[in-house]
Every structure is written in C-alpha cells, then in structure tokens.
Amino acid sequence: MSNQRQLVLNLFIYPGGHHEAAWRYKGSEPDRILDITHYQELAQRAEASKFDAIFFADGPALADNVRYAQRFRFEPITWLAAIAAVTKRIGLIATASTTYTEPYNLARLFASLDHLSQGRAGWNIVTTSAPQAAQNFGLPEHPPHHERYERAREYLDVISRLWDSWEDDASSTIPPPAFSPIPARSTHSTTSANTSAFAAP
C-alpha cells in the first residue's frame, strides 16, 4: 500500500469577492459578473491547474450588504451545467438548502447535472442560516436550528432513496426500465403523503 498523501484542491468561486469591496480592486472584472464565459474560463484554468473541483456557495435570500457590494450570482446548478459543457474532469459542487427545497426537485436537478457532466456533480448540503430566507417562501419565521436539522436528516434519507430508486444502468435498459418506487413518508412533508415516487433525471 502506498503511503503517498494527496491534497484535494477545491476552488471556491465567489463572484463579487469575499471582501465586500473586492470588486473595486484593480484587475477584477465586475462587468463580467453575469457573463458565463468568465466562469467557464475560470473553471477551465482550474481544471488545467489540476484542481479537483469548483464550488459555488448559495442561499435563497439577498445578503444585507447588497446595497453597496456586488452580490449578483447565478443559481448554482444552472451555472454548473453551463460549466460542465466546457470542462471534462473537474468536480462541480453546488450549494442547496434542505430547508427551502423539496427532495424530489433537488434529486432531479442534481441527477440531471450528474448525468450531463458524466458523474461530476457534488452537493454542499446546508440548512440555510439566513433568517430572511423565510420571507421569500411565505413563512412566518425561519425554522429553528433543531427543526432545520431534523428535516435535513429526513431529507437526506429521502433524496438518497430517490437516487437509488433507479438501477445504475437503467438509462441503457430497453423497457421495462429498472426502477423501484420508494414508499411515501410525510413527517416533514419531504414527500407526498399519498404517492410513491422515483426521481427522473
């Protein structure tokens, strides 16, 4: 067995920069913040430099400093789909919230990204800490920490079973396709109470 240790390199791309005035720094390109070719070029440079993955942070609410800092960004899974088309090897990690999405939608989005990138999708699982997100979903308040994590645990169980409801070679099978519906459960409304479900890419 080899004792050689290997470092895994992940590029955290934060469009306006982590410092709120970073976009004003000489050499930055704030006019390209919504230009997909900017991110495609960054990902290609990271891939050529032997990085293992790129990563996009996200949250379903605007940051408080949006009035004076450049805080625009694309939705991460859509963003990574465009990057997948111009890269070959680098991992593509998107942040998504277990508090403000449903497992079926997210299972399908990540399954699509994974298929179209030939197995390069990764998920930064968060429960969202920004309380202002609640207002974007018509909730009276942001769920407390223990509730978010309780839902997250069930969510991970459900989404894993949705992904596993297809056999690995299901897409190349001539009918009937190899899938098994998962039983419904409803503690946190993470699947419908009356139907079985399976994730479609």
Ligand X SMILES: Cc1cc2nc3c(=O)[nH]c(=O)nc-3n(C[C@H](O)[C@H](O)[C@H](O)COP(=O)(O)O)c2cc1C
CB 124 within 8 A of CB 93: yes
Residues in Cβ contact with 143 at an 8 Å cutoff, skipping those fewer than 6 apart: 99, 134, 151
Nearer to ligand X, 120 or 148 (CB): 148
DSSP 184: P
126 near ligand X, rule: CB under 6 A: yes
150 near ligand X, rule: CB under 6 A: no
CB 198 within 8 A of CB 179: yes
Closest CA to 10 of 58, 39, 44, 53: 53
Burial class of residue 47 in the structure, from the number of CB atoms within 10 Å of its CB (0-12 exposed, 13-18 middle, 19+ buried): buried
Nearer to ligand X, 73 or 120 (CB): 73
Site string for ligand X, 68-107 (x = CB under 6 A): ---------------------------x------------
CB of 170 to ligand X, least distance (A): 31
CB of 124 to ligand X, least distance (A): 6
CB of 15 to ligand X, least distance (A): 13
Q: Which amino acid is at 99?
A: T
Q: From the list 58, 102, 157, 164, which residue makes contact with ligand X (rule: CB under 6 A)?
A: 58
Residue number with the shortest CB distance to ligand X? 57
Token pair recorded at residue 81: 């789909």
CB of 182 to ligand X, least distance (A): 27
d(CA 120, CA 123) in angstroms, rounded, equals 10
Binding part of the chain for ligand X, among 30-38, 119-127, 153-161, 177-185 by CB under 6 A, reads 119-127
Nearer to ligand X, 44 or 124 (CB): 124
What are 197's strand-pairing partners?
A: 182
Nearer to ligand X, 112 or 124 (CB): 124
Q: Hey, how many other C-beta atoms are within 10 angstroms of the C-beta on 190?
A: 21
59 near ligand X, rule: CB under 6 A: yes
Token pair recorded at residue 181: 């519906």
Binding part of the chain for ligand X, among 81-89, 120-128, 156-164, 193-201 by CB under 6 A, reads 120-128
d(CA 45, CA 130) in angstroms, rounded, equals 32
Count of residues in contact with ligand X, rule CB under 6 A: 10
**Binding residues vs ligand X (CB under 6 A):** 57-59, 95, 124, 126-129, 145
